[in-house]
Amino acid sequence: MANTYVLISSSTVGSGGTASITFSAIPATYTDLKIVGSTRQGATANGIQLWVTFNGTATGYSRRNVYGDGTSTASAGGSAEVASRFAWAEDGNYTANTFGNFELYIPNYTAGNQKSFSTDSVTENNATEAYAGLFAGLSNVTAAITSVTMTISSGVTVFAQYSTAYLYGIKNS
C-alpha cells in the first residue's frame, strides 16, 4: 500500500475554458501516478467522455469499461484507438455548477513495458441521467511516462471554467 502521495502539479481551467489539460515534465522519481479531476464540459452534449494520451503518442490504446447511466447498465471497449477513453466530463445540460469526478491511476509509469491504467468516474445531476463507471486501459507506450494529456471526445472541444486536475506521484517508501 502506498504511503506517500506528493502533489506534482495542478491545473484549474480559467475563463473561456481550454481544449486540453496537460501535465508535462513528470519526474521519474515515483512508483505510480494518480490524477484526480473534477471536470465539466463547455457544451451541451450527453455522455461525453474524456480521453487520455501519454507522451504525445496518439496510437495504440485499448480500453474496457462498465457503466450505468441512471436507467441502464452496459459495457464497452475499444482497441487500436488514437487515445483512450477514461472518464466522463459533466454534461453542460446537467445541473448548473456541478462537476463530474474521476480518479485515474497509472501504476509502474517508469517501467519499460506497456502502461496500464484504471479509473473510476461519476457525473452528478439532479435528474435521472448521470453516469458512473469503471475503466481499464492499456497503452502501447513503453517509455517512462513524462506527459499526460486529457481532452474531451465527440467534437466537444472545451473543458469549462473551474474544471480542475491534480497530478500526484506515489512512493511506496
Residue numbers of the domain that contains 100: 4-168
pLDDT tier at 69 (50, 70, 90 boundaries)? confident
User: How would you class 71 by CB atoms within 10 Å of its CB: exposed for 0-12, middle for 13-18, buried for 19 or more?
Assistant: exposed
Evaluate whether residue 161 is within a structural domain: yes
Mean pLDDT along residues 20-42: 94
Evaluate whether residue 63 is within a structural domain: yes
Structurally, how many domains does the chain consist of?
1
| pLDDT above 70 for 114 | yes
Look up residue 2 and give its three cell numbers.
502506498
Closest CA to 82 of 65, 63, 61, 64: 61
Closest CA to 150 of 117, 125, 126: 117
Predicted pLDDT of residue 73: 93
Evaluate whether residue 173 is within a structural domain: no
Please tell me the distance from the alpha carbon of residue 99 to that of residue 107, in angstroms, as a whole number. Answer: 26
Handedness of CA 126, 73, 149, 154 (dihedral sign): negative
pLDDT tens digits, residue range 153-168? 766 668 999 999 999 9
Predicted pLDDT of residue 62: 92
C-alpha distance from residue 166 to each of 34, 67, 82 (Å): 8, 24, 24
Predicted pLDDT of residue 56: 93
Mean pLDDT along residues 99-127: 94
pLDDT tier at 42 (50, 70, 90 boundaries)? confident
Evaluate whether residue 134 is within a structural domain: yes
Least confident of 78-82, 99-103, 129-133: 78-82
CATH number at residue 130: 2.60.120
Evaluate whether residue 106 is within a structural domain: yes
Predicted pLDDT of residue 125: 87
Per the document, the length of the chain is 173
User: Which residue do the cell numbers 477514461 mark?
Assistant: 86
Evaluate whether residue 35 is within a structural domain: yes
Evaluate whether residue 87 is within a structural domain: yes
φ, ψ of residue 172 to 5 degrees: the values are: -95, 15
